[in-house]
């Protein structure tokens, strides 16, 4: 009986250790490429260092005290919040509407799906260069069309005017990311039972009633995920904004990521740039938790 017990004990030990063995590579990768840089960033935030040579000096919390009085940083954080709000308010309703239309369509729906998905296939840098030319005040097609229509007062320096730069960038960001959420909603709608909507139509329910009463509750979990992804993605957005405006003019379209980049690579203030990055992490975590709780509360009320 002893060998049998020993075998069963060894089998239980192997069974308990198997998940840890399979998870170990992923945990190691996360620790090396995520946890360690995060901790190191907080460590660098306590230094005065230009990133070159052994010139780093420990200055305690001076960088954090400077951050509290940095109006440019808080302005960039506010721009990130505006971007997150408009991403949720604009992207998700349009994406949901397109998903419902494509889900109901039969002829040509595959071609339309490919057409609507094209913006997401383009790189953000290429889109930034493209729309920088589109918004060009002298040669861009937007001002040219407005001029041809006789709307000369509507022509603007879209990316060079502080009043229009952030709005122009937000419009492009929303246009680029709508296809992602459209696909997300399409995937959720594909699991919605067809017979339920057909039965509702036989009972005289309109398309709007079917969406609000049946399909929207079915999409609640997907909507919550989409809200969380939109908020987190907006809080760390960088590439397209940097290409289009570089955070200008006069910091009008500055976001936290572009400000961090300028501090590190233009001003060579690695310590303060790491402080901005660490503050970004804290702000994103807080906003992500708050948005998750709000969306969860909304889900229980519907």
Cis before 249 (ω within 30): yes
b/e sequence 177-203, b meaning 16+ C-beta within 10 Å: bbbbbbbbbbebbeeeeeeebeebeee
The two tokens of residue 11 are: 């089998």
Q: H helices within 47-151, ranges in order?
A: 62-68, 71-86, 92-104, 109-121, 124-134, 141-148
CATH architecture of residue range(s) 61-301: Orthogonal Bundle (1.10)
Rounded to whole angstroms, the Cα distance separating 63 from 68 reads 9
Beta bridge partners of 58: 47
Contacts of 265 (CB under 8 A, 6+ apart): none
The structure's pTM equals 0.84
How is the chain split into domains, by residue range? 1-44, 61-301
Q: Which residues contact 141 (CB under 8 A, 6 or more apart)?
A: 134
125 φ/ψ angles, rounded to the nearest 5 degrees? -65, -45
pLDDT by residue, tens only, the chain of 302 residues: 455 455 566 777 777 777 778 888 888 888 888 888 888 889 999 988 887 878 888 898 999 999 999 999 999 999 999 999 999 999 999 998 888 888 877 655 677 777 778 888 888 889 999 999 999 988 889 999 988 888 888 888 899 889 999 999 999 999 999 999 998 998 888 887 777 777 777 777 777 777 777 777 778 888 888 888 898 888 888 989 999 998 888 889 999 999 999 998 888 899 999 999 999 999 988 988 887 777 766 654 44
- The encoded tokens of residue 78 equal 């506010």
């Amino acid at each position: 009986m002893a060998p049998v017990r020993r075998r069963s004990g060894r089998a239980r030990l192997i069974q308990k250790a198997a998940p840890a063995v399979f998870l170990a590579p992923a945990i190691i990768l996360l620790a090396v490429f995520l946890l360690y840089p995060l901790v190191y960033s907080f460590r660098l935030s306590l230094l005065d260092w230009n990133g070159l040579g052994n010139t780093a000096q420990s200055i305690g919390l001076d960088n954090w005290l400077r951050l509290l009085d940095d109006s440019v940083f808080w302005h960039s954080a506010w721009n990130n919040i505006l971007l997150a709000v408009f991403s949720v308010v604009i992207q998700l309703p349009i994406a949901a509407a397109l998903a419902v239309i494509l889900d109901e369509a039969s002829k040509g729906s595959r071609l339309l799906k490919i057409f609507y998905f094209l913006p997401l296939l383009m790189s953000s840098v290429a889109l930034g260069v493209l729309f920088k030319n589109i918004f060009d005040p002298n040669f861009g097609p937007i001002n040219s069309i407005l001029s041809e229509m006789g709307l000369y007062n509507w022509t603007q320096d879209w990316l060079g005017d502080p009043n229009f730069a952030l709005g122009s960038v937000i419009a492009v960001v929303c246009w680029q990311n709508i296809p992602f959420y459209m696909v997300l909603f399409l995937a959720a709608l594909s699991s919605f039972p067809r017979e339920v909507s057909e039965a509702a139509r036989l009972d005289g329910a309109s398309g709007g009633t079917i969406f609000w009463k049946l399909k929207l509750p079915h999409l609640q979990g997907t909507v919550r995920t989409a809200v969380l992804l939109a908020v987190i993605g907006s809080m760390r957005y960088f590439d397209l904004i940097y290409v289009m405006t570089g955070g200008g003019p006069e910091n009008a379209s500055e976001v936290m990521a572009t400000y961090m980049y300028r501090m590190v690579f233009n001003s060579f203030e690695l310590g303060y740039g790491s402080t901005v990055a660490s503050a970004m992490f804290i702000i994103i975590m807080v906003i992500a938790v708050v948005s998750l709780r709000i969306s969860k509360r909304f889900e229980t009320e519907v």
